[in-house]
Amino acid sequence: MDLDYFFQLFLGGMTRGSIYALIALGYTMVYGIIKLINFAHGEIYMIGAFTALIIVGALGMTGLNPVLIFLIAGVIAVLTSAGYGVTIERIAYKPLRNAPRLSALISAIGMSLFLQNYVLLAQTSNFLPFPTLIPEFKFLANAGGIISSTQIIILATTALVMVVLTLLIKFTRIGKAMRATSQDRQMAQLVGIGINKVIAFTFVIGSFTAALGGVLICSHIGQINFYIGFIAGIKAFVAAVLGGIGSIPGAVLGSFVLGLTESFGTGYISSDYEDVFAFLFLVLILTIRPSGILGREKKAKV
Amino acid sequence: MVTLKQIRNSVLIALWMMILTFPIMVIKVNTIENIVIWRWMNLLYIGVGTVILSIFWFFLINRRKLEPEERKRSFALKGKIETLKGVLAKPVVQKPLYAALLVIIIIFPFVSSLYQTGIMITALMYVILGLGLNIVVGLGGLLHLGYAAFYAVGAYTYALLHRYLGLSFWVCLPIGALSAMLLGILVGLPVLRLRGDYLAIVTLAFGEIVRILLENLSQYTGGPAGISGIPRPSFFGIKMSLSTAMNYTYFLTFALVLFTIFVVRRLEHSRLGRSWVAMREDEVASEAMGIDITRAKLSSFALGALWAGLAGVFFSAKTTFVNPASFTLWESVIILCVVVLGGIGSIKGVVLGAIVIILLPEYLRAFSQYRMLFFGLILVMMMIFRPGGFIPAKRRVYTFDKAQLEESD
């Protein structure tokens, strides 16, 4: 077996997994708190990537340092996406908080459709190339092209986000409020937690990480269009379900499992069926263990 | 009505939206040719549009908070609509109305162009699809996002059986329907344990798997290019001109619509139908009341799929061409829109929903590129302000008549 090829696939899988993890975090956190599959989450990721591309394009003329441009674009994109996340929650989900779950889910599908077409109409339906802005690191020259500097940045950023997020949820005041809200919304309200604020904050964090994923993956793959959010969103959701939805370590674990499966599946079997692997995996996991790898089984009550 | 504070808030919301949508609405970059276009006018449109929309939004929100009685008073037109509804419900009015509708439907293909007939057939096909999905989503309460896959199975069954075995439309119709139903059962089995959102995502995944398989098994299915040259339905082997064949297809589809409405109406109040509704309302409670959930779920999946299969065979016979691009996830979403907009669980609603969703974009060609944008918006607005759809489903009410009870004693 070709070891170099194996490592390439492994690292490719890890990179994929990192991006899925960044998106899946938003899904899992939102689900944990308001028990809603935020279908529009993939669109947030796409909007993050698009905004970054637009800012990069607009700043490209000024002749600034590419790394600086990338940073500015990243910051603006992430902030804008967080804004989108909160706005979507306000418009499409908040009025439905006490409605049947099906209503909120259909509203989320509607929002996803709307956002996709909004970007399609305001921008373009073509694939746009994303300029390379991250320079190749010098020390990678003798690594033999197994790993690129973008991949290193993606892996490092994901790791950092995970650590910060875990600390945030474990030790800060708002993190505690989030955990309380996800356990029992009514009780949380009774003990004086402003659940509207907590929910909005969850959407901010979720959109923030998704947009970060969007910016990073586009600088890695190098092209985007309005449709990327849908498939990435579905796969991240698969990852979140794999790990057990509502659980943050579960989402990360599920993402890496999914990323590696896809990478090895396409590398050793066939690249035509890339998306089928993810979906088959989902069906299998849900059939065998509906609560996911790290999820807890819940008993239904009347 | 809208308060002053809400108007001030609308302006603030508009400002927020202008900032938020600034990068995507105003700047347009082409990274291939390095061109940047600044479209400042869009900012103005967004601002003005948001103010108007959010005032409208607040108006609807205020209305939603009112009690039904107050709402009637606050909105004079509503009272008139109620009286109109009362008049329409009378059998004396209803019967001639239905008769007139029937006459219009029968005359339609003879007075309109081939193109118009084609659109009408499409609308009728969506009525069938909507009613089929209504069994799963409306009655069973199972959110199904892979419905287009069953539609595809029906369409491809006819296309493939014709291509390899030369079978005719009439032979393929039951085979297509049955194979879709079998697949429905196959999908139903693993998802039996799942509820709500998980079910939605698994059916979605399943729909995508079917589409990807159709695209990649190109040695059999023709891949993305699809299969062409599928014959239209035949009538005892008589050769027909194109327009006669279209009219014939139109009437066949219409007959199937009538048949579907008949069957769904019978199903709705049958033992099975009532068990679906019970399952929709509360799965655990209905199981405790002795309803076999496995049976109820599987049967709603299978029957929903059966209708998709029938519609699929009609689809490939009508267009004489199938390819995987006709069966994407958005196809499933459009069918879902038909059900949701019309009224989940209501037959009249679904018929109206199909006609509105298919015909409106056809006649408003100028806006056709905004079609999906509006669908999205309408889905959200409908869920918030009118969750029952255009014509909400009515539950059958059994009244307790005291006098009658005493008589029988």
- Residues B345-371 have pLDDT tens digits of 888 889 998 988 888 877 776 777 787
Average pLDDT over residues A267-295: 77
Residues 189-228 of B with CB under 8 A from A: 190-191, 193-194, 196-198, 200-202, 204-206, 208-209, 212-213, 216
A119, part of any domain? yes
Range of the domain at B57: 4-84
Q: What is the DSSP string of A142-175?
A: GGTTSS-HHHHHHHHHHHHHHHHHHHHHHHSHHH
A293, part of any domain? no
CB A281 within 8 A of CB A238: yes
Q: Give me the pLDDT at residue A302, please.
A: 46
Give the span between the Cα atoms of B309 and B132, in whole angstroms.
10
Give the span between the Cα atoms of B33 and B211, in whole angstroms.
35
Average pLDDT over residues B122-129: 92
For residue B285, which residues of chain A lie inside 8 Å, CB to CB? 302
Q: Give me the pLDDT at residue B300, please.
A: 92
Is residue B155 located within the same domain as residue B56? Answer: no
Q: Give me the pLDDT at residue B68, please.
A: 62
pLDDT at B73 over 60: no
Amino acid at B8: R
Q: Give me the pLDDT at residue B95, please.
A: 81
Q: Give me the pLDDT at residue A141, please.
A: 62
Average pLDDT over residues B170-178: 91
Residues 379-398 of B with CB under 8 A from A: 379-380, 383-384, 387
Residue A76's closest CA among B395, B24, B43? B24
- Best of B368, B380, B381, B386 to disrupt the A interface (most A CBs within 10 Å) is B380
Is residue B136 located within the same domain as residue B239? Answer: yes
Is residue B175 located within the same domain as residue B135? Answer: yes
Contact at CB, A103 and B383, closer than 8 angstroms: yes
Return the CA Rg of chain A: 19
For residue A272, which residues of chain B lie inside 8 Å, CB to CB? 212, 216
Is residue B17 located within the same domain as residue B72? Answer: yes
Is residue B64 located within the same domain as residue B121? Answer: no
pLDDT at A272 over 70: yes
Average pLDDT score, chain B: 84
Average pLDDT over residues A64-86: 89
- Count of pairs with CB atoms under 8 A, one residue in A, one in B: 179
Is residue B227 located within the same domain as residue B162? Answer: yes
Q: Give me the pLDDT at residue B272, please.
A: 92
Query: Per-residue b/e over B323-359, b at no fewer than 16 CB within 10 Å?
Result: bbebbebebbbbbbbbbbbbbbbbbebbbbbbbbbbe
Is residue B19 located within the same domain as residue B65? Answer: yes
A60, part of any domain? yes
A301, part of any domain? no
Q: Which residue of B has its CA nearest to A123?
A: B28
B96, part of any domain? no
Is residue B204 located within the same domain as residue B340? Answer: yes
A111, part of any domain? yes
Count of domains for chain B? 2
Is residue B342 located within the same domain as residue B267? Answer: yes
Is residue B339 located within the same domain as residue B199? Answer: yes
Residues 251-310 of B with CB under 8 A from A: 282-285, 288
A302, part of any domain? no
pLDDT at A248 over 90: no
pLDDT at A46 over 60: yes
Average pLDDT over residues B13-23: 88
Residue B328's closest CA among A222, A181, A231, A78? A231
Chain B nearest-CA distance from A258, in A, is 14
Residues 86-125 of B with CB under 8 A from A: none
Count of domains for chain A? 1
Range of the domain at A112: 15-237
A296, part of any domain? no
What percentage of chain A reaches a pLDDT higher than 70?
Answer: 93
